[in-house]
Amino acid sequence: MTCSEIIVKLGPYVDDELSPTDAQRLRAHLAECDSCSGEVASLRELAAAIADGPTSQVPPTLWTAIDRRLSEQASDTVSPIHRRRVVPFMRIAAVIALVVGLGGLVFVVRQGESTAHASTIDFGVILDALPLDPQKAFSRFLTLYSGVEISPSQARSFAPDLDFEVPAMLPGGFQRTNTYGLRFGSNPGVAARYEKSGELLVAIFHPTVHPEQFGTHQDYPCVVGDHHGHAVAVGDWSLVHVTDPITCHCVLSQLDEVELAPVLKAVAPRSKPSESSGH
């Protein structure tokens, strides 16, 4: 098992929910991988700390209020795509404060369950951690949305209502390394990991009915080649979204506008510029 396969199984492993065969294979990997072993240790420490903490009564309207406030978040500032900003990790601190303030309330997303995350897609989990470790940031997004590795040939059948492509090679020499099925509430999505000489590029496809949240990072309109959409910049990275009537095509990369244009055309070949817009 590879690290990318392991990372999405760590939560179920810590909770003793894996099959005996999968658990045995995972333990064999952990015996040889310090990075994944460290992730398991961190998960167990967090679980222990929460279990030892006091319990509090959570107001029944809490998640509704949070979801409403996130949905009302507006994008008032328009910036060019080349403007790069690194925002301090205020969002992480806010989440920690919420957990501590509620006496250790844990909000867990499990495959097949509908939660408050079903109504929005939280890209902040990637954006907040990009400057530290892009690979781990993407892996945590996969964990949050119940990512399971699938073959490229299974991608279209996994999300039959979406329109996208996951070619083996993208313009610029990025090679596809993994393809994943995701769950955004009850709706399926797909993600593909690409690499070129250690440089990461990620394509994520989801239904247009889901609002997107970006944590503390600013969303702004953009034009890349023939595509009109919206983007978020973090340091040298950009998360660009191109939307057609049924699919949002999201590309996370360190490419500039010229390099990114043919990549967007490859993953969203049938997206018409006149129909693409931010959401």
**Structure token pair of residue 142:** 């996969």
* Whole-structure pTM value: 0.60
CATH code of 48's domain: 1.10.10
For Cα atoms 41, 117, 72, give the angle at the middle one, nearest 5 degrees.
Answer: 130
CATH code of 87's domain: 3.30.200.100
Q: Which of 222, 156, 75, 64 is nearest to 250 (CA)?
A: 222
Q: Which residues contact 137 (CB under 8 A, 6 or more apart)?
A: 125, 126, 127, 128, 129, 130
Indicate whether 35 and 171 sit together in one domain: no
Residue pLDDT tens, the chain, 279 long = 677 777 778 878 887 788 888 888 888 888 888 888 888 887 787 777 666 655 555 555 555 556 556 555 534 443 444 333 333 333 444 444 444 444 433 333 333 333 344 468 999 989 988 888 999 999 999 999 999 999 999 999 999 999 999 999 999 999 999 999 999 988 999 999 999 999 999 999 999 978 888 988 989 999 898 888 999 999 999 999 999 889 999 999 999 999 999 999 999 988 765 443 444
Indicate whether 220 and 152 sit together in one domain: yes
Indicate whether 95 and 229 sit together in one domain: yes
Indicate whether 212 and 102 sit together in one domain: yes
What does the alpha-carbon distance between residue 253 and residue 26 come to, in Å, rounded to a whole number? 30
Q: SS3 for 235? A: coil
Containing structural domain, residue 17: 1-52
Contact (Cβ atoms closer than 8 angstroms) between residue 208 and residue 248: yes
Indicate whether 62 and 3 sit together in one domain: no
Last residue of a domain, one of 10, 32, 52: 52
Write down the H helix ranges in 90-189. 90-101, 124-127, 134-144, 155-158
